[in-house]
Amino acid sequence: MRLSADPRRAARAAAARPVAPLGAIPGNREGAHPSMSEVTTVTVREVAGRFASSLKGEERQAQLQELNKFVRDFDQFDIARLTAEIVEKYQEGQERSGADSRRLEPIKSFLMFAHKQGFTDINYGKFIRIRRANGRGGARGGNAERVETPQHEMLTAEGFRRLQEELDNLINVKRPEIARDLFEARIDKDFRENAPFDAAKQHQAEVEARIRQLQAILARAEIIDEGRRTADRIVLGVRVTIRDIGEDDVIEYTLVSPNEANPREGRISVASPVGRAVIDRRQGDEIEVDAPAGKVRYRIESVVS
């Protein structure tokens, strides 16, 4: 079999693979860690799996919510090719979409972990700038810091529908399923080594956390008025066709909020590398995107509102 010599084509092929939930990453839970001698590239997803397996209880669930967003955007990216510029641009994109910088604490912890484990030469976590709440003289107590939640969550109508369907499924299907699993696991009275019970409790914690997250998103949701959009500039909710100038490949995406993103279905986040590059641009513009194999140039072929 002839192998392609173009690293960018290989990187795109890797990025196109189905994206598993973070809980299914090798090295997370009971999965075996991939041997460093067996791989030449260690991806962000693989290292995130190891980081997740090092977390316990409530700390694990709290950190996974934000970490999943980071993994969705970088997934098969070779973590050794990470740069300070990439990390800083990721934070800029998140803040531009309305996220408070303090929600990036899990990403900062993950990048510190990656450095301590020898996956990166330096600690890129230091390039995540957590902006603290203003207080006189750094006073504590009554002026304790609080993580502020954006007042509005901009969503497309389709994105709102999908998130509502996911919430309904978690409440009406998943909750009863987990309750049955817990009931059956309790039949075994020895809770000291009751793996099914422990697994069901962990699953319950993950589902309840996702339910709370979805309820908060939908409560703040502001649906984009698609009737007022124009095809002149690229904004949230438009369909964009871009062409890889070097490879002449054509890709179509719908630009959505981070909470709606699903690259496998052609919906990319405005906070992703491509999303940040195309936002507010016009048809015919050329853009440059940081990819695992280096910078890739694209031309915006069409913009459909």
Residue 145 is predicted with a pLDDT of 40
Tens of pLDDT, residues 116-149: 888 888 888 888 888 765 444 444 444 434 444 4
Residue 155 is predicted with a pLDDT of 85
Measured between alpha carbons, how far is 213 from 48 in angstroms, rounded to an integer?
21
Residue 285 is predicted with a pLDDT of 93
Q: Given CATH 1.10.287.180, say whether it is the number of domain 157-223.
A: yes
Identity of residue 231: A
Q: Given CATH 3.40.605.10, say whether it is the number of domain 226-304.
A: no
- In degrees and rounded to multiples of 5, residue 258 shows phi and psi of -55, -35
Name residue 244's beta-bridge partners: 298
Exposure of 141 by Cβ count < 10 A (0-12 exposed, 13-18 middle, 19+ buried)?
Answer: exposed
- Residue numbers of the chain with a pLDDT score lower than 50: 1-21, 23-39, 134-149
Query: Residues of CATH 1.10.287.180 domain(s) within the chain?
Result: 157-223
Measured from the Cβ of residue 156, the count of other Cβ atoms closer than 10 Å reads: 20
Residue 166 is predicted with a pLDDT of 92
75 and 252 Cβ atoms separated by less than 8 Å: no
Measured between alpha carbons, how far is 71 from 90 in angstroms, rounded to an integer?
12
157 and 225 Cβ atoms separated by less than 8 Å: no
Task: Please give the structure tokens belonging to residue 61.
Answer: 């669930």
Extended strands (E) in 140-203: 153-155
Query: Residues of CATH 3.10.50.30 domain(s) within the chain?
Result: 226-304
